[in-house]
């Protein structure tokens, strides 16, 4: 399917990945409607699109069926990214389930009712749990360790069941550990790279939970957004799941060293704390399917990506001390 000059909806489009995906879609000439309740997404992420006549922003919740019925009328493609985050699932699992699972079913059913031509469910590598084999293909067992991961897996099943039952052209995209500009560094939504950068720029040692040998497959956000778009246009991926990742395994210890190097803060040695509950020990994506079917390969390696992100972060003129003082959720980094 050629996804150019179409009417598309991006739920969670004011979020980190969603706003970058909106950029990619707009560059292809699409009319983009963003649906976001701004619980974690930010209007700042969309500020550069404020004057773009191809952008419509709707403030609302994906559990609101009447809002969805209106917003999806006449839409060609839906990208569903609206989500409540992993760390919130430790404290409020019911909300995370309600938004991530029930909310996904609501978007699926309204897509069916409005004859949406293609539905892309943006899932998460957290559905896999820790790797039992690596690199991890799409057929890897789904053994999520958290309610967040389980809720994302439920959303996958809803999306693909709507393909089998109602003929909705749905697919599942599984990004791995995305980082880059606009990523969250605050509170429960904060991610490890932004938190490392914020702490080191304040001359405070980064915090690593556990021994730091746990690994992730970090993927720069522009690559993730390109990958989602490439997958969504691939007819062969309808009814299937596909990994979107760099395909590079990086330990948290190595990550801390790379951030320190990029910021010239090598003297700041990480502080280790007890491992977090249900933490994934290993993620390393098999990216062959995305490459072979959608023609997608990530371009930015971890060292270059960390350097790019650090440069961007420093260019924002943040009040670093104030941000560090506000970041009270250090134990859920």
User: What does the CA dihedral 262, 266, 269, 270 come to, rounded to 10 degrees?
Assistant: 10
Work out the angle at residue 12's Cα, subtended by the Cα atoms of residues 290 and 215, and round it to the nearest 5 degrees. Answer: 50
Joined together, the tokens standing for residue 64 give 């609101």
- Is residue 100 within 8 A of residue 149, CB to CB? The reply is no
- Which DSSP category does 102 fall into? I
Question: What is the distance between the alpha carbons of residues 84 and 93, in angstroms, rounded to a whole number?
Answer: 10
Residue among 135, 139, 142, 128 nearest 286 (CA): 135
d(CA 228, CA 241): 11
Cα Dmax for the chain? 58
**Any long-range contacts for 255-258 (C-beta under 8 Å, 24+ apart)?**
255/192, 255/193, 255/196, 255/216, 255/218, 255/302, 255/306, 256/196, 256/206, 256/208, 256/212, 258/302, 258/303, 258/306
- 79, 148, 158, 229: the active-site residue: 148
Minimal CA–CA distance to 177: which of 266, 314, 306?
306
Q: Is 158 tagged catalytic?
A: no
Three-state SS letters, 21-61: HHHHHHHCCCEEEEEECCCCCCHHHHHHHCCCCCEEEEECC
Closest C-alpha among 245, 209, 118, 225 to residue 171:
118
- Please tell me the distance from the alpha carbon of residue 246 to that of residue 259, in angstroms, as a whole number: 18
Active site residues: 148
């Amino acid at each position: 399917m050629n996804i150019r000059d179409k009417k598309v909806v991006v739920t969670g489009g004011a979020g980190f990945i969603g706003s970058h995906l909106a950029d990619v879609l707009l560059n292809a000439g699409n009319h983009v409607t963003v649906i976001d309740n701004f619980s974690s997404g930010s209007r700042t992420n969309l500020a550069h699109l404020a004057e773009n006549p191809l952008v419509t922003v709707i403030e609302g919740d994906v559990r609101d069926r009447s809002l969805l019925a209106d917003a999806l009328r006449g839409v060609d493609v839906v990208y569903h990214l609206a989500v409540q985050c992993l760390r919130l699932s430790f404290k409020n699992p019911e909300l995370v389930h309600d938004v991530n699972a029930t909310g996904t079913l609501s978007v699926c059913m309204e897509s069916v009712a409005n004859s949406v031509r293609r539905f892309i469910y943006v899932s998460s590598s957290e559905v896999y749990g820790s790797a039992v084999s690596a690199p991890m293909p799409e057929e890897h067992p789904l053994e999520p360790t958290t309610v967040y991961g389980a809720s994302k897996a439920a959303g996958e099943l809803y999306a693909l069941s709507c393909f089998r039952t109602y003929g909705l052209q749905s697919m599942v995209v599984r990004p791995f550990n995305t980082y880059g500009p606009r990523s969250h560094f605050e509170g429960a939504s904060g991610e490890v790279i932004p938190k490392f950068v914020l702490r080191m720029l304040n001359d405070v040692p980064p915090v690593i939970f556990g021994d730091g040998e746990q690994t992730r497959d970090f993927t720069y956000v522009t690559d993730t957004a390109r990958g989602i778009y490439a997958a969504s246009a691939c007819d062969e991926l309808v009814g299937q799941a596909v990994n979107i990742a760099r395909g590079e395994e990086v330990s948290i210890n190595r990550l801390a060293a790379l951030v320190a190097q990029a910021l010239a803060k090598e003297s700041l040695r990480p502080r280790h704390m007890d491992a977090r509950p249900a933490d994934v020990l290993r993620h390393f994506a098999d990216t062959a399917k995305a490459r072979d079917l959608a023609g997608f390969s990530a371009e930015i390696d971890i060292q270059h990506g960390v350097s790019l992100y650090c440069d961007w972060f420093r260019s924002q003129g943040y009040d670093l001390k104030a941000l560090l003082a506000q970041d009270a959720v250090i134990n859920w980094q």
